[in-house]
Amino acid sequence: MSELREGTSSKSGGRVRVFTGRRILALDGTEPEAFATRGEWIVATGSRADLLAGFPDGERIDLDGALVVPGFNDAHCHPSQAALARIRADLTTAQGPDDVREALRARASAVPEGEWVVGQAFDAHRTGMGEVDRAFLDEVSREHPVVVVHYTFHKAVVNSRALEILGYRCAEDAPYGGQLLTDVDGELNGWLIERAWLDPWLPGVGRASIVPAGQESAQVAALAEVNKELHAVGITSYCDAIVTPAEQAMYAAALDRGMLTPRVAMLLWHSYFDENSWASSARPVDRLRLAGVKLMLDGALSGGTCLCQQSYASATGRDNGLQIVSDEDFTDTVRRVHEVGARVAVHANGDLAISKVLDAVESLPAHEKPVNHRIEHCSIVDDRIIDRLVAAGITPVPFGAFIHCYGEAIEAFYGAQRAERACAHRTMLDAGLTVAGSSDFPIVAIDPLLAVQSMVTRRSRGGGVFGASQRVSVIEALGVYTHGSAHATGEAATKGRLVPGQLADFVALDQDLTAIDPGELSDVAVRSTWVGAECVWSR
């Protein structure tokens, strides 16, 4: 018989329930036969007999399936962009040039004259059409400015009208940290890399974005659709890794309408950070909270634009990736955020970019309220970087499924030695770091079990093994995607384990993850997903 463990919560009101399951992994080293909840909180764990005796008036719920684990928490994803794409021109399922052209023309006919036409999630590999360009988009419209955002969110392509509005005439007009690509004749082909399109898209306080906001009701409905899909793969919490006031308003509207079913943390894009208003704007609530400020220092791991210590044939056409912001501006922003006690979350993939983040964090003065700053992706590391991460108390947020999705591309860009240490979960955990789970959805599928499989096997979908030395156990991978992610947003005290005093967020699976072939982990189905002891999705 397991020992009865009881706890208290400051929010202890509400209906009492006793949940039982075939096998329950609390992820604190225990396997209780049951747990009791009051309202949204777990108040006791132990044997079935003890909990049913201790809570005789509680509703008993026998969870269907083979395994119950804490709800999955994705610490770095972009559900708001997945939702907003659905009310713009969503190119997620476009299969060829006709689909792309039709979707953009339909959007152009639906928006007021002169308004930006926005297409999102374009993938040339999926459409089989090669890269679209300025000329292709001019066929869609010469009256509307048109922008099509690449699925990686690291580049976009525009038509001639958009180039005119943005003031781009030649490659030399690119801002620091960006590129304007040209055709063989030296004319702009419409492709904008990094800050060349990010600055107009995310311009900051007091400046208008090129992106039309859209109707609130349509935004909330699209967000509810996305959240339902995330619940279907066991997601109970996530951190949206880039929000502006527009996305904040969408989430707030969903909360006000009772339509925000997961728990959402947000990272505010740095150009919207205001130290004078941060304290009032960052007040947390159970379902929606600001977790920090997002910055970006280099390019994409799978896209071959990481900023690395050693040169390589990058996708920039140069011998290294891009640095998005200058050292001086970057360090200044990190310091301003740190001074108000806020968390910085810095996108840094390459080892040189990661080292620059560490330089900035190590230079910070002590703060009266210490906070664990984050490095998003933290993809290519060495032993010296690991030591510095530990000393600085930084939380790394590496990709979960990128080896599965992009193992061959990572090795092709960076070489076998760097691919061996890419997304170095084993090394990070062995060093004592708390590591968070991340998909970067919608760039890749958000499915946590696909990420767990990738972390455990280090096998790509093409069949190659990349970095076998970085394999982790199933239990370790589950910890990354639950309490590891909770730590990354400062919520480890309230979520990530099925123990008294934590939120009753959990998922029931139809197979025991520890008892099957690791190559089949992503095939395991979710039976039901629960947030605050309430079922938000059921098979």
| CB-CB contact of 470 with 421 (8 Å) | yes
Q: Kindly report the length of the chain.
A: 539
**Residue whose structure tokens are 């998005």:** 324
* CA 504, 505, 508, 513 torsion-angle sign: negative
Name which of 77-81, 127-131, 352-356, 467-471 the model is least confident about: 127-131
pLDDT tens, residue by residue, 373-417: 999 999 999 999 999 999 999 999 999 999 999 999 999 999 999
pLDDT band at 370; cut points 50, 70, 90: confident
Rounded CA-CA distance 46/36 in Å is 9
pLDDT tens, residue by residue, 444-470: 999 999 999 999 999 999 999 999 999
pLDDT at 126: 78
Does 3 have pLDDT greater than 70? no
pLDDT at 366: 85
pTM for this predicted structure: 0.95
pLDDT tens, residue by residue, 331-365: 999 999 999 999 999 999 999 999 999 999 999 99
pLDDT band at 1; cut points 50, 70, 90: very low
pLDDT band at 132; cut points 50, 70, 90: confident
Average pLDDT over residues 213-239: 96
Average pLDDT over residues 205-227: 94
Q: Which residues contact 265 (CB under 8 A, 6 or more apart)?
A: 237, 238, 239, 240, 289, 290, 291, 489, 491
Average pLDDT over residues 257-284: 93
Q: In DSSP terms, which residues pair with 263 in a beta bridge?
A: 237
Rounded CA-CA distance 46/54 in Å is 10
Average pLDDT over residues 167-181: 96
Rounded CA-CA distance 449/526 in Å is 10
pLDDT at 128: 74
Runs of H (alpha helix) within 8-159:
48-54, 79-85, 97-110, 124-127, 134-140
Does 486 have pLDDT greater than 70? yes
Name which of 73-77, 95-99, 321-325 the model is least confident about: 95-99
Average pLDDT over residues 133-147: 96
Percent of the residues in the chain that have a pLDDT greater than 90, as a whole number: 89
Average pLDDT over residues 247-270: 97
Structure tokens at 28: 């604190």
Structure tokens at 12: 């202890």
Distance set, CA 303 to CA 123, 315, 402, 407 (Å): 12, 7, 12, 12
Structure tokens at 377: 């992706």
Which of the following CATH numbers is that of domain 74-78+215-489: 3.40.50.12780, 3.40.50.1370, 3.20.20.140, 1.10.3720.10? Answer: 3.20.20.140
Average pLDDT over residues 2-11: 56
Does 12 have pLDDT greater than 80? no
* CA 176, 347, 410, 96 torsion-angle sign: negative
How much helix, strand and coil, in percent to the nearest 5, is found in the chain? 35, 25, 40
* CA 130, 320, 348, 459 torsion-angle sign: positive
Does 8 have pLDDT greater than 60? no
pLDDT at 11: 55
pLDDT at 401: 98
Average pLDDT, the chain: 95
Rounded CA-CA distance 294/305 in Å is 19
| CB-CB contact of 209 with 203 (8 Å) | yes
Distance set, CA 421 to CA 176, 275, 350, 474 (Å): 30, 37, 11, 19
Average pLDDT over residues 9-13: 57
Percent of the residues in the chain that have a pLDDT greater than 70, as a whole number: 98
Rounded CA-CA distance 496/505 in Å is 8
> What are the helix and strand counts (H, E) for the chain?
19, 22
pLDDT tens, residue by residue, 35-54: 999 999 999 999 999 999 99
pLDDT at 2: 45
Rounded CA-CA distance 474/397 in Å is 18
| CB-CB contact of 264 with 290 (8 Å) | no
Residue 18: how many other CB atoms lie within 10 Å: 21
Q: Which residues contact 277 (CB under 8 A, 6 or more apart)?
A: none
pLDDT at 160: 98
Q: In DSSP terms, which residues pair with 538 in a beta bridge?
A: 528
CATH architecture of the domain with residue range 89-201: Roll (3.10)
Q: Structural domain boundaries of the chain?
A: 5-62, 74-78+215-489, 89-201
Of 156, 290, 235, nearest to 438 (Cα)? 235
Does 9 have pLDDT greater than 60? no
